[in-house]
Amino acid sequence: MYAPLRVVSLFIFSFITLSLSAQNNPTSNDWPAYGHDGGGMRYSPSKIINDKNVNKLDQAWSFQTGELKTYEGTSAASKAAFEATPLMIDKTLYFSTPSDRVFAIDAVTGQQQWVYDPKVNMHNDFSEVSSRGVSSWPMSQGFYPDRRIYVATIDGRLICLDAKKGTPITTFGNQGTIDLKAGFGKDLSATSPPAVIKNLVIVGSSLGDNQRFDYPRGTVRAFDALTGELKWSWDPIPQDSTDAAWKTWNGTKAHKTGAANAWAPISVDPARDLVFVPTSSPSPDYYGGERIGQNLYGNSIVALHASTGKIAWYFQVVHHDLWDYDIAAQPMLVDITRNGRKIPAVVVGTKMGHIFVLNRENGQKLFPVAEKPMPATDIAGETSWPTQPVPVLPAPLGIQKISKEDAWGLDSASKLAAEKRISQYINKGPFTPPSFQGSLMTPGNVGGIHWGGMCFDPQSGMLYTNINRIVPIITMIPRDKADSVVKQRKELMRVETGRQEGTPYIMKRDYLFAVSNGQMVLQTKPPWGTLVGIDMNVGQKKWEVPLGFMLDPTKNPGAEKWGSLNFGGAIVTAGNLIFVAASMDSHFRAFDATTGTLLWDYTLPAGGQATPMTYVIDGKQYVVIAAGGHGKLGTKLGDYVVAFTLK
C-alpha cells in the first residue's frame, strides 16, 4: 500500500475506535442511531422543552417527500407505512421513505439537501412496504471525511451512500450495493435499519409470514463498513449437528425450516463486543408439525460476539412458537440498579406483553421468570411445548385472557353480538394453541409490545412502552377440506389466509372487531391501546393511561378514554416528557413521564405511525416525527416530516 494511503487508513480506523465509543452514549443531544444510541434507549438528555413549557410547542417546519406519487398505478398504498425515525448528525436529518428513497434535509430549516432513489419496483408484491430508517457510519457526531449512510431495502439490497452527496460509494460492494437476496431467494426483504458496530454493518431480514414452510432462513450477516466484504454470518436455524440446538429441531424436514429471522432492529454494545439479535418465529407461524421440538434459536434474544459472529449466550422467550410471537421490538441496553449496584442489562419486550430483563454480559435473569405449564394442542401432527417462560416481574402487560364477560359494544345489541362471537372460540390464556374451532389468542400477534418498542430514562430508571389490546382469531383448516369448511363458515371469507404450503393445514386469521358506520369497533372492553410506565429498579408498574382514540369523541362520548390501536414507539427526555404518536387519530402527544398526564396534543397532517426523535442545535430543541400513515391500519396516508420547537 502506498504510504500516505496507509497513514490515512490508519487514521480512519483510529478515529473509528475513538468515535464509536460513543455509540451507546445516552447523553448526546443529537440522534445518531434509530434508537438514539446503539442500544435503543430512545432517551434524550435535553430539557429545553420540558413539562413546564411543552404547552408552547409549535410547528417549526414541515417537509414533504412526494412519496405518494411513487405508489401511483400500483397497489403499494394498501401496505405502505411511513415508519421511519430520522437520524440527526452534523445538523442534517437522514431518513428513508416506504419505497426506500433516502433524504437528507437541513435539521434547522427542513430544506432538502439531496435525495437518493434506489428505484424499487413498486409493482412487486412486497409483504411489507416500509422502511424504519437508515444508519450512519460512524455513528457519532464530528468531522469525518468519509461518512456513510446505509439503507437496507424492501427488495433485498444493502446500499452505501456518501452522506454529503447522496451518491453510492462505489468501493462498497458492487458499485455501492450488496444483493442480500443472492443465495437466499427472491422473498428476502429488509425493513429495519442496519446495526453499526465499529467497522461492521450488520443486517437481518424481513420475510413474508404463513405462506409456506420453506422460506429462506433468517441468516444475520456482518459486512465490512468500508468494502462491503462479508465478515461473518449466523443462522438461527442450526445447520451444524454438533450444535446442541440441533437436537431441538426434530422431523425429516426440520432443518429445512425457514425464517426465525431478525426483522426488528438489532442492538450493539461496542464496549463488550456484543451484538443482540431478536429472532422471530420459524415458518410458518402457526404450525410447527414439521419442526417438532423447542426450536432454539428461534424466538430468542441471542448475544453474538461482534468480532466473530459466534454465540456468547442466548435466552428463548417462546418455545416452539405457534402464535407468531416474534420479538418485534429492538432489544434495549440499559443499566439496571439491583441491590444497590448497577448491572448492564438487556431488556426484551415481546408481543406477549412479557418483559424479560437479563444481564447483558451472560444472559442471567435479573428478575424472576417462571416456567409455567401451558395447554396442549389437539391438532394432528403438532406437538406443542408443555411449558413457557413467564416473567414474574415486571408483570405481563396487555390482554392475557378473554371470556364473554370481556365483550363490549356501542349498544346492547352490538355487545350481545360480541358475547356470541367470543363464545364460539377457545381461549386458555396467552399460549392457547391454534385449533379447528378457532382460538382467541391473547395478547396476539400485534398485541403486547409491538415493533414500536420501549424507551428508558437512565436517571429515574423508568421504562415506558405503548401497548396494543386487540385479539386475533386463528383457525386451522385441513388442506383437503378447505373449500367445504370456508363455504360453511361465512365469517372466514373476509379474513387473511395463510397457505402454509408444505404442511397439512391452511390458516385463517381474523380479529375481534366489528364495523359500525364505517368505523372499526373492537369487541372487547377498552382501553384498546395504552401507554405504560414501569419502575425498572423494582419491576413494578407505576401508571397506565389510554393512548389516543379510534372513534369520533363528538359522536361517541367517552371515546377519548378508550385508547387506540397503535404502531410506532415513544421517546423520553430529561424534561420529564414522553413523546408519542402511533394512534389511529393522527395526534402527536406529550405526556408527563412521572404521572402519565397528557400535557400537549397536536393533530398531524397524516397518520403518525412512526417513532419520533429530538435534538438540539444552537440552543434550540426540536422534536421531529414522520407523518405518512399506515396502509394496513387504515390511517390517513401522507408524506410529511414535521418538526416542532418552542414558540
Q: How far is 455 from 534, CA to CA, in rounded Å?
A: 11
| All residues at 6 or more sequence positions from 425 whose CB lies less than 8 Å from its CB, including other chains | 437, 438, 439, 440, 473
- 402 and 472 in contact (C-beta within 8 Å)? no
Is residue 177 scored above 60 in pLDDT? Answer: yes
Phi and psi at residue 336, to the nearest 5°:
-110, 135
Phi and psi at residue 6, to the nearest 5°:
-65, -40
**Per DSSP, what are the bridge partners of residue 158?**
152, 178
Which of 367, 359, 341 lies closest to 540, judged by CA? 367
Is residue 12 scored above 50 in pLDDT? Answer: no
Is residue 8 scored above 70 in pLDDT? Answer: no
Q: 161: pLDDT confidence band, cut at 50, 70 and 90?
A: very high
Angle at 490 between CA 485 and CA 492, to 5 degrees: 70
Is residue 81 scored above 60 in pLDDT? Answer: yes
359-411 confidence digits (pLDDT tens) = 999 999 999 999 999 999 999 999 999 999 999 999 999 999 999 999 999 99
Strands (E), 24-156: 43-44, 57-64, 80-81, 87-89, 92-96, 102-106, 112-116, 129-130, 135-137, 148-152
3-class secondary structure, 424: coil
- 406 and 524 in contact (C-beta within 8 Å)? yes
Q: What is the pLDDT of residue 25?
A: 61
Is residue 263 scored above 70 in pLDDT? Answer: yes
Q: How far is 365 from 315, CA to CA, in rounded Å?
A: 9
Is residue 17 scored above 90 in pLDDT? Answer: no
**Mean local confidence (pLDDT), 502-506:** 95
Q: What is the pLDDT of residue 442?
A: 95
3-class secondary structure, 315: strand
Angle at 434 between CA 432 and CA 435, to 5 degrees: 110
| All residues at 6 or more sequence positions from 75 whose CB lies less than 8 Å from its CB, including other chains | 125
Q: What is the pLDDT of residue 24?
A: 57
Which of 377, 424, 372, 388 lies closest to 403, judged by CA? 424
**Mean local confidence (pLDDT), 12-36:** 63
Q: 14: pLDDT confidence band, cut at 50, 70 and 90?
A: very low
Is residue 10 scored above 80 in pLDDT? Answer: no
Is residue 584 scored above 60 in pLDDT? Answer: yes
Q: What is the pLDDT of residue 48?
A: 98
236-261 confidence digits (pLDDT tens) = 999 999 999 999 999 999 999 999 99
Q: For this structure, is 209 an active site residue?
A: no
End-to-end CA, the chain: 56
Is residue 327 scored above 80 in pLDDT? Answer: yes
Kindly name the residue from 37, 324, 406, 510 that is annotated as catalytic: 324
pTM of the model: 0.95
Structural domains of the chain ordered from first start: 3-646 (2.140.10.10)
265-283 confidence digits (pLDDT tens) = 999 999 999 999 999 999 9
Least confident of 143-147, 354-358, 441-445: 143-147
Cis amide prior to 527 (ω within 30 degrees):
yes
Q: 5: pLDDT confidence band, cut at 50, 70 and 90?
A: very low
Is residue 631 scored above 60 in pLDDT? Answer: yes
Give the up-direction half-sphere exposure of residue 485: CA atoms within 13 A in the CB hemisphere. Answer: 16
**Mean local confidence (pLDDT), 578-586:** 98
Is residue 18 scored above 50 in pLDDT? Answer: no
Q: What is the mean pLDDT of the chain?
A: 93
**Mean local confidence (pLDDT), 90-116:** 98
Is residue 7 scored above 50 in pLDDT? Answer: no
**Per DSSP, what are the bridge partners of residue 535?**
462, 540
3-class secondary structure, 19: helix
**Per DSSP, what are the bridge partners of residue 359?**
345
Cα 272 to Cα 266, 306, 337, 342, 448: the distances in Å are 15, 9, 19, 16, 30
Is residue 536 scored above 60 in pLDDT? Answer: yes
Q: 519: pLDDT confidence band, cut at 50, 70 and 90?
A: confident
309-318 confidence digits (pLDDT tens) = 999 999 999 9
Q: What is the pLDDT of residue 517?
A: 84
- 378 and 483 in contact (C-beta within 8 Å)? no
Is residue 456 scored above 80 in pLDDT? Answer: yes
600-630 confidence digits (pLDDT tens) = 999 999 999 999 999 999 999 999 999 999 9
- 51 and 577 in contact (C-beta within 8 Å)? yes
Is residue 463 scored above 50 in pLDDT? Answer: yes
- 477 and 491 in contact (C-beta within 8 Å)? no
Angle at 442 between CA 440 and CA 443, to 5 degrees: 145
**Mean local confidence (pLDDT), 565-573:** 98
**Mean local confidence (pLDDT), 74-96:** 96
**Mean local confidence (pLDDT), 26-49:** 93
Give the up-direction half-sphere exposure of residue 68: CA atoms within 13 A in the CB hemisphere. Answer: 12
404-450 confidence digits (pLDDT tens) = 999 999 999 999 999 999 999 999 999 999 999 999 999 999 989 99
DSSP string, 370-420: EEEE-PPP-STT----SEEEEESSSPP-S-----GGGB--SSHHHHHHHHH
Percent over 90 (pLDDT), the chain: 88
Q: What is the CA 515 to chain-centroid distance, rounded?
A: 28
Residue with cell 409493482: 123
Using left for φ > 0, alpha for ψ between -120 and 50, and beta otherwise, residue 421 falls in alpha
Q: What is the pLDDT of residue 21?
A: 40
Which of 545, 557, 630, 560 lies closest to 84, judged by CA? 630
Q: How far is 400 from 402, CA to CA, in rounded Å?
A: 7
Residue with cell 428508558: 456
Strands (E), 479-569: 496-498, 505-511, 513-516, 519-522, 529-535, 540-546
119-133 confidence digits (pLDDT tens) = 999 999 999 999 999
Indicate the residue type of 500. Answer: Q
